[in-house]
Amino acid sequence: MNIDRKTAFPSALRTNLERAYHPHKALGQLFEDVQIQNILSDNKQIVDGVPSNAPFIIAEIYRCCKNNPGFNIKRFTQAYIQAPTGSADSERGAIEGGNKDGLIAHLHQHWHKLLRKASDTKSPWTSLVGLPHPYIVPGGRFREMFYWDSYFTMVGLIASQEVSIALGMLRNFRYLIDSYGFIPNGNRSYFQSRSQPPFYFAMLLLCKPYLAEEEWLSYFSSLEKEYSFWMDQHLQLPRAGYRGSHLVTSLQLPFANRYNGTCSAPRPEAYGKEWRWASNVASEAKPSFYRNLQAVCESGWDFSSRWFSDGKSKQTMDIDKIAPVDLNALLYGVESLLVEMATCLGEFDKAKQYQQRALSRRATLNEHFWDHKKGCYQDIYFDSGLPTGRLTLAMCYPLFTNAATSEYAANIAEWLERKFLKAGGLVTTCQTSSEQWDAPNGWPPLQYVAVVGLRNYGYNKLATVIAKRWNDMVERQYHKDGRLLEKYNVMRPTSPASEGDYPTQDGFGWTNGVTLAFHALLSGD
């Protein structure tokens, strides 16, 4: 399905998209050649780098010179594109020797190594979108504020009593919603074709104790805007058979949501490798293939057998046909918070509307997303209403947002203990593959979602076991080489994680946040 950008994006977003610097457009053939020929060590370097002159001038110089004898494209690129700051090497240098201190003391101190200043971006030729308040970046090659990463980072900031930074990040996200009509994947121009799992409501709940009631309620309008983005701007639900950008309806489902990508080309920050991945895809199928790649990136699980119909290959991605259980559980959380905030504001008609949506979505989660044969939550195909059959930690999300029944929560706790719990915590899926969001890897956000979800339903003992195994593994790695990683091999904690799409990164924002939150839980703080 081709997405009409004029209907897919609000007018404010179109304006910002048009005036932003987009390296893949501005640098023309130079960009394509660098990415496709794999000239630089990381696909993200050219899109994060800053041109030393107007991009159209660099592109024209390249066009005139590229066929000259002895021309070297790598030297040319390095001469005209300033390497991005905050590289993987500098992040690694920031944590080397950290094992001289205890892990928790180091984590409390490390936030300021990952802190970036508020900025309107001095150069007009940067893909970085300026933000009004300081923010934490994940680390390594990730030099910007990512959406769903930031919730788990903020959890740690609160544990470190860095409340002002957490509140600043919350305000940055409101700024992004007000600017674009939704929260992009990250504050880069090339991330504006997609969002990420909607944790903005959870950020609001996290920050509520630190905000005056009037200010907290002022976030209602931005939460509504984000919800409208996920509901394709529909005030009333369309008839059965609607297939929108993120909203779908069918005879089986009153309504549900899916992840989506809006561009029919490779992602700029992964252009070369996605171009190569598509080499065996038929020409007429490539636009759909690229949109599916972006949809998987919007899910945050890039990449996983969760999205492959054969469980093995990216060429069989079917995410465009799937209603994911995590997304729909999170949107139940959004709807529930909208009810609370609308009621406090005296917007009783809106509160009633959102209450109806929340009740309907909760019923859908517990009727259609529940696999009665296996006894767990699963992603479903929205046309047939059938489960995909791919068992993943996404089954924990209805517990995280309190959408599960007590009976179903008991089943999930049993599944986690029996199938997912490993030496270092919870494994992401039951499928071992070369993809990073599969076994043997475990990821900080999913540990946190599971632990909070279990505690919501009284399974504190199992939650404590998961948190302790995770923190013990993180601490062992830290004392071994002073590193905090974005993901770990939870099945064999002394072995490296499966790298997947890119090498495992040091830093690392959400690892730091979840480890600090678990430390507080285990300490009884």
- DSSP, collapsed to helix, strand or coil, labels residue 312 as coil
Task: Write down the residue that tokens 């509307």 correspond to.
Answer: 353
Q: Could you confirm whether 4 is annotated as catalytic? A: no
| Active-site annotation holder among 162, 335, 486, 506 | 486
The DSSP secondary structure of 276-307, one letter per residue, reads HHGGGS-GGGHHHHHHHHHHHHHHT--S-GGG
Partners of 477 in the β-ladder = none
| Active-site annotation holder among 48, 91, 302, 379 | 302
Nearest-angstrom CA–CA distance, 498 and 475: 19
The DSSP secondary structure of 91-147, one letter per residue, reads HHHHHTTGGGS-HHHHHHHHGGGSEE--B--S-SS-SBPPBSS-EE--BTTB-S-BH
Query: What are the two backbone dihedrals, phi and then psi, of residue 425, each rounded to the nearest 5 degrees?
Result: 130, -150
- The token pair at 491 is 């099945």
First to last CA, the chain: 50
Q: Could you confirm whether 417 is annotated as catalytic? A: no
CA neighbours within 13 Å on the CB side: how many for 53?
A: 12
Dihedral angle, C-alpha 246, 248, 254, 255, nearest 10 °: 0
The one-character DSSP state at 210 is: G
* Nearest one of 353, 347, 107, 345 to 231, comparing CA atoms: 353
Catalytic residue ranges: 302, 486
